[in-house]
Amino acid sequence: MKTLNQKLQNLLKLGLFTTIILSFVACSEENDPMSPELTNITGKWEGTLNHPGYDSGTLTLQIIQSNDNISGDYTMRLVKNNNVQNYSGTLSGAKTGNNNYSITMTVTTTTWICSLTLNSVTLSGRWESSSTSLSGTLSVQKN
């Protein structure tokens, strides 16, 4: 029969072994290998835009990122009662944090200011019009 001292030593060995295994597993765990975080958002992004005055909206961004600076073009399609309005213009902005971006989309008489967060390969967030009290949401994915 094992003494109390031998039982405690076996329990200590089991605890040490378990700690080593758990440490190995925790250190070897990777982020989702199927969708690594982007470090540069240059490219074509397509998705949806919610606008309070329209039934639906689609948005395409062609973004160029140089360091923390953003530039490019956009096209927008807004639909209400089967009537379509198309807009296009330029965009500019900056990376404002780890995965945060501020992008301004400009068309002839209106400027939309977007606060976006990058989550894997999706940029999403809110937009506000600089000339009206309108605001909404948008979400685009990199193609």
pTM to 2 decimals? 0.72
Residue 112's domain spans which residues? Answer: 43-142
pLDDT digits (tens, 9 = 90+) for 39-54: 899 999 999 999 998 9
Domain membership of residue 24 (yes or no) is: no
Domain membership of residue 134 (yes or no) is: yes
Domain membership of residue 89 (yes or no) is: yes
| Overall number of domains in the chain | 1
Contact 27, 108 (CB under 8 A): no
* Helix/strand/coil for 52: coil
pLDDT digits (tens, 9 = 90+) for 16-30: 445 555 454 444 444
- Amino acid identity, position 50: N
Domain membership of residue 133 (yes or no) is: yes
pLDDT digits (tens, 9 = 90+) for 127-137: 999 888 899 99
Contact 34, 57 (CB under 8 A): no
CATH number of the domain encompassing residue 87: 2.40.128.120
Domain membership of residue 122 (yes or no) is: yes
Domain membership of residue 31 (yes or no) is: no
